[in-house]
Amino acid sequence: MSVFAPLGVMRSAAPRVACRRIAMSVAAGWLCLALAACAEQKFDDSQLVTASRAVSVDPGRALVVLGPGSLPTTGVTQRSYDNGVSQVISLRTRGRTPGENTIHAAFVTAADLPDNEGVEGHLLRAPGIDDFTIAQEMEERLPGVPMAPSALFVQNKYGPFGYAFGRSAAGEACIYAWQRMANGDRIFLPRSGVASVRIRVCDPVATEAALLQLAYGYSLNASLRRPGWNPVGDAPAPAPELGRAGAPIYPVPLTAFPATAERSQPVRPRPARVRRAEPERVTEPVPARPLEGYPTVPPPPTP
């Protein structure tokens, strides 16, 4: 038996091992290509491109929330811009007045505001509070409802605001309130951004005082992480008499209007009494000749 036999066996087995390694490498390469093809076919949400910039968000991310016991939020539609964000917050709606109870909110950064909405760069224009702008908004969001702007000065925790009240053809009470918050927008102070709120609500049983409470009780539920964005300003310092001895504080009503008020029933006019026509008395005609069997009475003498 030759001593070189094991060496020949080893030389004949070397090509087999090399072929096996090449086959495994090729198989691994095909497997990688198959996995890559599967990964390309998997759908990702980021690949979806919609034709509108408006998206629905969770009601908990609403920019504005109403006070406790107010109308619940049913949906929020949000639009993002290069200089801010706007939302249409849908509220529960009942009644027969055309339209939907909504809150229109907009947060604008301290960047320069464009003159027109929808210009190049997708910039958001802060809604105005002039009479013409408010009249256009009420005509669009309250069609056919005669609204009368209030001449009274009213103010909530964010500052002064305006409102208009009216009744629809169905007799439902409607309110449209507007407020613009911009702190430090003066010549020698930097711009602090703008927050705008519009409240449109119609209700078949509410009164003007009850609807006005919505404008007093709402709160801003978000802010922008931008340097200097503070349209509301810092919170005021507490009253100096709080916690001090010798300064009693008594409970007083929060507002001059009741929190809830029932709608007064309209006074119906009493129907006028219709006087019945008395039956006409029928008089028998006097015969021209005397009746038979009765004596003839001469007429009275003429004076």
pLDDT tens, position by position, 65-100: 999 989 999 999 999 888 889 999 999 999 889 999
Q: Averaged over 94-116, what is the pLDDT?
A: 81
Q: pTM, whole model, 2 decimals? A: 0.65
Token pair in block for residue 146: 């005669």
Averaged pLDDT, 268-289: 66
Domain residue extents for the chain: 54-220
pLDDT 10s digits, 210-256? 999 999 999 999 988 887 788 887 778 888 888 888 888 888 655 55
pLDDT value at position 122?
77
Between these two residues, 82 and 207, which has the higher pLDDT value?
A: 207
pLDDT-based confidence at residue 123 (cuts at 50, 70, 90): confident
pLDDT single digits (tens) 147-198: 999 999 999 999 999 999 999 998 999 999 999 998 765 555 556 788 999 9
4-44 pLDDT, tens digit per residue, is 455 454 555 555 656 666 767 766 666 666 665 655 566 66
The end-to-end CA distance of the chain, in Å, is: 193
